[in-house]
């Protein structure tokens, strides 16, 4: 079955450490997105990518980095510059960036700073 | 800047009662999405509304879209406990080009009491 796989489900980061969250999709979707969700709040866009080797900043990109070397993969790195990274991170994809349509979401990664 | 506002933020209702969640957005968009999120889980797509006057129903939930008023409603009929969750509306936004991005409201936490 097609879908989006995020890993790990839970991740613990020490102060000053970079960590990478994985997002893989086998839906042949062009566009991929990363959202952050804080407790009791909505989702905020971190980064998005329309095509391979291209990505753009969303509303809260500071302290994060991404890459899009393959169509199927869109990993998110939370760098030490992100001062408050504890949150729930959701990856999503859509079939064609410029068309309205369904967005498919992964199951999420819960990141905690220890 | 596109903003999406939901109200109420929290709704406690009794089983069997009816209620409506409201979603207002600030700029023109013809595409509105409703999602459900259970605690600690990802997003489940409920409705995609693609045109003015669109109405969709699934079980005890009915969603409508008025693009002129920039308003969508999610109506709950005869609530049951299983509907307890957080409900998000989201609107597509073009992000410096043809790419559409989902911008989320803050969510409505629905608690249905016996």
Per residue in A71-94, pLDDT (tens digit) is 999 999 999 888 899 999 999 998
Predicted confidence band at A1 (pLDDT cuts at 50, 70, 90)? Answer: low
Cβ–Cβ of A58/B101 closer than 8 Å? yes
Which of B100, B104, B110, B111 to mutate: most A Cβ within 10 Å? B100
H/E segment holding residue A6 = strand A4-7
B114 and A CB contact within 8 Å: no
B50 and A CB contact within 8 Å: yes
| The pLDDT value given to residue B110 | 96
- Over the stretch A34-77, which tens digit does the pLDDT of each residue have? 999 998 788 999 999 988 999 999 999 999 999 999 999 999 99
C-alpha A95/C-alpha A103 separation (Å) is: 8
What's the whole-number mean pLDDT along residues B14-41? 90
CA B69 to chain centre: 15
Q: Does the pLDDT value for residue B86 go beyond 60?
A: yes
Q: Which residue has the higher pLDDT, A31 or B57?
A: B57
Least confident of A50-54, A106-110, B95-99: B95-99
Contacts of B111 (CB under 8 A, 6+ apart): B10, B11, B12, B13, B84
- Show residues of chain A in contact with B88, CB under 8 Å: 42-43
Cβ–Cβ of B99/A48 closer than 8 Å? yes
Q: What integer best gives the mean pLDDT of chain B?
A: 90
Distance from CA of A9 to the nearest CA of B (A): 11
| Cβ-nearest to A98 among B48, B99, B102 | B99
Give residues 54 to 83 of B whose Cβ lies within 8 Å of A: none
């Amino acid at each position: 079955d097609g879908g989006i796989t995020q890993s790990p489900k839970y991740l613990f980061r020490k102060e000053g450490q970079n960590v990478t969250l994985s997002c893989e999709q086998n839906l042949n979707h062009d566009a991929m997105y990363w959202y952050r969700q804080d407790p009791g709040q909505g989702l905020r866009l971190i980064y998005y990518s329309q095509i391979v080797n291209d990505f753009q900043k969303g509303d809260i990109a500071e302290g994060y980095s991404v890459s899009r070397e393959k169509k199927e993969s869109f990993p998110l790195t939370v760098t030490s510059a992100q001062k408050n990274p504890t949150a729930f991170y959701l990856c999503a994809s859509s079939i064609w960036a410029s068309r309205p349509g369904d967005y498919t979401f992964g199951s999420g990664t819960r990141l905690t700073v220890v | 800047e596109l903003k999406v506002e939901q109200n109420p933020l929290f709704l406690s209702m009794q089983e069997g009662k009816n209620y409506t969640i409201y979603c207002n957005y600030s700029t023109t968009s013809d595409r509105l999405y409703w999602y459900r999120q259970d605690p600690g889980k990802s997003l489940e797509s409920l409705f995609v509304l693609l045109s003015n006057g669109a109405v969709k129903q699934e079980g005890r939930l009915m969603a409508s879209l008025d693009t002129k008023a920039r308003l969508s409603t999610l109506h709950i009929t005869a609530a049951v406990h299983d509907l307890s969750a957080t409900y998000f509306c989201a609107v597509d936004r073009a992000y410096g080009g043809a790419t559409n991005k989902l911008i989320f409201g803050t969510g409505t936490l629905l608690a249905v009491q016996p």
